[in-house]
Amino acid sequence: MKYRNITEGSFLERPNRFIAYVEINGKKEKVHVKNTGRCRELLTPGATVYLEKSDNGERATAYDLVSVKKGERMINMDSSAPNKAVHEWLLKKELFPGLKNVYPEKVYRNSRFDFYIETEEEKIFLEVKGVTLEKDNAVYFPDAPSERAVKHVGELAEAIKEGYSAYIVLVVQMKEVDFFAPNVETHPAFAQALLEAREAGVKILAYDCEVTPDSMELRDPVPVVLTELDLIAKPLLSWYDRGRRILPWRENPMPYYVWLSEIMLQQTRVEAVKPYFDRFIGQVPDVKSLACLEEERLVKLWEGLGYYNRVRNLQRAAKIIMEKYEGIMPSGYEKLMDLPGIGSYTAGAIASIAYGKAVPAVDGNVLRVLSRLRMDGEDILSQKTKSRVEKELGAVIPEDRPGDFNQALMELGATVCLPNGAPKCMECPWKGFCKAHLQDKIFEFPKKKSKKERIIEEKTVLVIKAEDKAAFEKRPEKGLLAGMYGFPMLEGHRSEEEVLYFLRSKGLRVIRIQRIGEAKHIFSHKEWHMIGYAINIDELEAPKEGVAKAGWIFADKDEARERYPIPAAYASYAKYLDIKLGV
């Protein structure tokens, strides 16, 4: 937008909101101020101001004060200029390429919004706010309490419920500022209204302007900071770009690779997963091969990663993808959530990394770093807390780099903001505004309610060898380690005499028995405290009936290694057969 007949002057005083006195060409002139805000930090004695001379010779004031220099920065302070500039900008179709109509001043309920817009797909209300208050290169609104602004924001949120789209465009009437934030000190209700509006779906945008004495034009987007989360993306992505880890699924983020890696990474470290991932895709390269693979072979490939129900759900989901989606993994978050074994975190990871959808992926790492960042005292093990954080991140995730943003958050938690009291704060891109770091309270966060104590189960493991073969039993198809193979096992800690009695009841002739030590394996909800015996039996005299009834098979170590999936719970005893579990 352009002005005509611009004159330079020197500000003298402002007796009220509408009138000021300015020295123009050595003469004191009464002028009209085109801004009813306070503008105290702008209109200081001696400040250079710019005025538009009116064409109406009968006006009481011949000039309108439209802009001012604050140091070397030119600031437009004309309250009518933002709407004019936005109108011109909308007509260029930069915000809405499918623009059909623009109507200034539209009444809706008890508000008169600045613009009503129609595109090929949407009906939109848009409210404009001019921003002139600058501190330390950041800008704020309002500079005085504004109940009208709060009402407008609230009714935009209501319009969303009725099917409209809604926007707030904050026109920063100067250029090259760091960010916009609501002026919480002056009007906390407006700050809260903006936050609630964004959560309701109102898009909040800010743009700076190219300002000259006789013009103002919208220029570049300005970051909008409503909470600490609005500060995190830029430094986080810069940190990630400088030193992200090179991972096979990251370098080739095909949906299948992302999905497989995320399932493998549950409860397992990245470095440990790499060889398992490479081995798995080498033999099961796509969804079709996963859906068709024989289950026992599938579980064998998973051996060493634990939590075997994960791989079974992986195959169930693959079969659904083949049947319902013709072998192509769906890109939609909700459709991903419908697949077996895929929760909100995994769905968010796949949708954002593989498909570029702006949805969050919140796991324990993310909850931990955000808890410290904000000194959030809520229990991070609570689903309520996780759901809240997902909603908050959904409002700030960069639409141009959602996958990198989610991976950077995971990376920060995995490599810098570590659990167990060992964060590397000086390497953190957020160290300048992380509350727990700045207040030296890192070790107090995150907050977790005490978990229920694990159930302890005592077991006796029998490594039964007949010449070059050993006995294995298949576990039940449901329950812990379902369908896996392990050594025969008895409940409780049994004495040598009890073990011998058990074996004789199976018709086995024991040649030698030896105690081989204790071991512990921890599951999510229980612990096995085990003792073991190495037992040699006479294969030639061993009757088959007792063994068959027990459901045991005898296999040599090569067959066991290649064919039968043996979980890591038995690792301490597998070594007595020279069997290494996993990759």
What pLDDT shows up at residue 477? Answer: 85
Residue 93 β-bridge partners: none
Decide if 428 contacts 417 (C-beta within 8 A).
yes
Average pLDDT score, the chain: 92
What pLDDT shows up at residue 422? Answer: 84
Sequence-separated (6 or more) residues with CB below 8 Å from residue 531: 459, 460, 461, 493, 494, 515, 517, 518, 519
What are the tens digits of pLDDT across the range 214-227?
999 999 999 999 99
What are the tens digits of pLDDT across the range 47-89?
999 999 998 888 889 999 999 999 999 999 999 999 999 999 9
Annotated catalytic residue within 52, 262, 392, 411: 262
What pLDDT shows up at residue 540? Answer: 54
Pairing of strands 455-466, 469-474: antiparallel
Examine the residue annotation and report whether 199 is marked as an active-site residue of this protein: no
pLDDT-derived band at 102, boundaries 50, 70, 90: very high
Single pTM value for the model: 0.75
Reduced to 3 states (helix: H, G, I; strand: E, B; else coil), residue 499 is helix
What pLDDT shows up at residue 576? Answer: 86
What are the tens digits of pLDDT across the range 29-44?
999 999 888 888 999 9
- Which carries the bigger pLDDT value, residue 505 or residue 211? 211
Amino acid at 275: P
Which is nearest to 169 in space by CA: 124, 214, 210, 212?
124
What pLDDT shows up at residue 544? Answer: 58
Indicate the range of 87-101, 227-241, 334-348, 526-540 predicted with least confidence. 526-540
Residue 555 β-bridge partners: 470
302-331 average pLDDT score: 93
DSSP state of 144: S
Query: What does the alpha-carbon distance between residue 380 and residue 441 come to, in Å, rounded to a whole number?
Result: 17
Reduced to 3 states (helix: H, G, I; strand: E, B; else coil), residue 534 is strand
What are the tens digits of pLDDT across the range 183-204?
999 999 999 999 999 989 999 9
Percent residues over pLDDT 90 in the chain: 79
Which is nearest to 107 in space by CA: 152, 171, 154, 160?
152
Query: What does the alpha-carbon distance between residue 465 and residue 578 come to, in Å, rounded to a whole number?
Result: 12
Q: Where are the alpha helices (DSSP H) in 286-401?
A: 287-292, 295-302, 309-325, 333-337, 344-349, 364-374, 383-394
- pLDDT above 70 for 583: no
375-401 average pLDDT score: 94
